[in-house]
Amino acid sequence: MYFSAFPKITYSLDDGKTIQIVTDITKRVGFLSEFVKNYSYYDLYDIKDGETPEIVSDLFYNSTFYHWIILHANEIIDPRFDWPLSQENLISYCKQKYGGETEIYKTKLYTNAANYTVNSYRALEETSASDEIFLTFEDGTNFLLKDPPATLYPVSRLEYETAVNESKRKIKVPKSEIISAIQTNFGGLIAR
């Protein structure tokens, strides 16, 4: 198992009344930057909806055991938040984060035709009479903008979170011929 290579430490869970020997989960090692940047060691893969690190490990290595190598190769510390959610889990996450079904469809931000986020323009009084547009942002603030770009596109909270989630789908999977070397080096480094 992954944590079997980690060193053990003594720790008290009850203010010093008893001492337990536990795995030191605070230890961390990672791949050398030269290794991470060298794409000859990897295959690129797009995670499909619902796939877990264990499923991807099984696809590439015929074993779920090496899921931790895939996580390390992509600098994923917490797969609950750094790995893409399934569509169903993403919608549940959004409802919880934003406060319900109707809230996830409210505008989070605006983008222009080049898909750049529109952050600021000169605000005018509501009674101003020039080329202007009235925007309502996620936090409820309203802005009347002068000289806005030709077209602004509202992006809902769900659309925004979907884009963030989708950006996590392309990962690097270390080639199977280097897995044993990674495992050996990891064991030596983590035990120090």
Lowest mean pLDDT among 21-30, 110-119, 129-138: 129-138
Rounded CA-CA distance 83/173 in Å is: 14
**176 lies in the same domain as 149:** no
Task: Give yes or no for residue 48 having a pLDDT over 90.
Answer: yes
**80 lies in the same domain as 92:** no
Beta bridge partners of 22: 9
**109 lies in the same domain as 172:** no
**79 lies in the same domain as 6:** yes
Residue partners of 118: CB distance under 8 A and separation at least 6: 109, 110, 111, 112, 148, 149, 152
Mean local confidence (pLDDT), 147-155: 68
Model confidence, pTM: 0.69
Rounded CA-CA distance 60/172 in Å is: 11
Residue partners of 155: CB distance under 8 A and separation at least 6: 107, 108, 109, 110, 111, 163
CA dihedral 158, 159, 162, 166 (to 10 degrees): 180
**67 lies in the same domain as 126:** no
Which three-class secondary structure state does DSSP give residue 143?
A: strand
For 91-120, the pLDDT digits (tens) are 999 999 999 999 999 988 878 776 777 655
**63 lies in the same domain as 92:** no
For 32-41, the pLDDT digits (tens) are 667 767 778 8
**143 lies in the same domain as 80:** no
pLDDT attached to residue 128: 46
Rounded CA-CA distance 171/83 in Å is: 10
Question: What is the extent of the structural domain holding 173?
Answer: 2-84+168-190
**52 lies in the same domain as 71:** yes
Domain count, the chain: 2
pLDDT attached to residue 125: 44
Lowest mean pLDDT among 65-69, 90-94, 138-142, 146-150: 146-150
Exposed e or buried b per residue across 146-170, where buried means at least 16 C-beta atoms within 10 angstroms of its C-beta: eebbeebeebbbbbbbbeebeeeee
**30 lies in the same domain as 98:** no
Exposed e or buried b per residue across 63-91, where buried means at least 16 C-beta atoms within 10 angstroms of its C-beta: eeebbbbbbbbbebeebeeebbbeeeebb
**9 lies in the same domain as 80:** yes
pLDDT attached to residue 123: 43
**78 lies in the same domain as 18:** yes
Residue 130 — very low, low, confident or very high, per pLDDT cuts 50/70/90?
A: very low
Q: Which two tokens stand for residue 145?
A: 């903008």
pLDDT attached to residue 119: 57
**23 lies in the same domain as 41:** yes
pLDDT attached to residue 105: 93
Mean local confidence (pLDDT), 79-91: 93
Percent of the chain with pLDDT over 90: 37
56 neighbors 67 (Cβ within 8 angstroms):
yes
Task: Calculate the average pLDDT of the chain.
Answer: 80
Task: Give yes or no for residue 3 having a pLDDT over 70.
Answer: no
What one-character DSSP code corresponds to residue 47? P
Percent of the chain with pLDDT over 70: 69
pLDDT attached to residue 153: 81
